[in-house]
Amino acid sequence: MKESVSFAFAVYLLGFAVSIFIAAIIKFILFFIRKFSKRVQN
């Protein structure tokens, strides 16, 4: 039981970390594209 609880907890933490990483990638993509498109316009 203890092992399965710690495994579930590890799965959750890893899932959380990957989800936040994806959210950070989204912010990075938007930042990068918008900065790049501004430069092209200038």
Partner 1 sequence: MIKLLNLFQGVGTLFVQDPKIAIARIVLILLGILMVYLGKKEILEPLIMIPMGFGMAAVNSGVLFLSATQIGTIFMDPLVTNTDEIMNILQIDWLQPIYTFAFSNGLIACLVFMGIGVISDVGSVLKYPFTGMLIAMFAELGTVATFPIAHAMGLSYGEAAAVSLIGGADGPMVLFASLSLAKDLFVPITIVAYLYLSLTYGGYPFLVRLLIPKDLRGKAVKTTNKRNISSGEKLAFDIIACIVLCLLFPSASPLFLSFFLGNAIRESGMTRYAKLLEDVFLYSATFLLGLMLGVLCEASTILNPKILFLLLLGIIALLLSGIGGILGGYIVYLINGKNFNPVIGISGVSCVPTTAKVAQKEVNRVTRYSFILEYAMSANICGVITTAILTGIYVTFIPLM
Give the C-alpha separation, 35 to 30, whole Å.
8
Longest dimension (CA), the chain: 61
Residue located via tokens 């498109």? 37
Q: Kindly determine how many residues on this chain lie close enough to bind partner 1 according to the rule CB under 8 A.
A: 24
Minimum CB separation of residue 34 from partner 1 in Å reads 8
Give the C-alpha separation, 39 to 26, whole Å.
20
Residues 1-42 that bind partner 1 (CB under 8 A): 1, 4-5, 7-9, 11-12, 14-16, 18-23, 25-27, 29-30, 33-34
Give the residues lining the site for partner 1 (CB under 8 A).
1, 4-5, 7-9, 11-12, 14-16, 18-23, 25-27, 29-30, 33-34
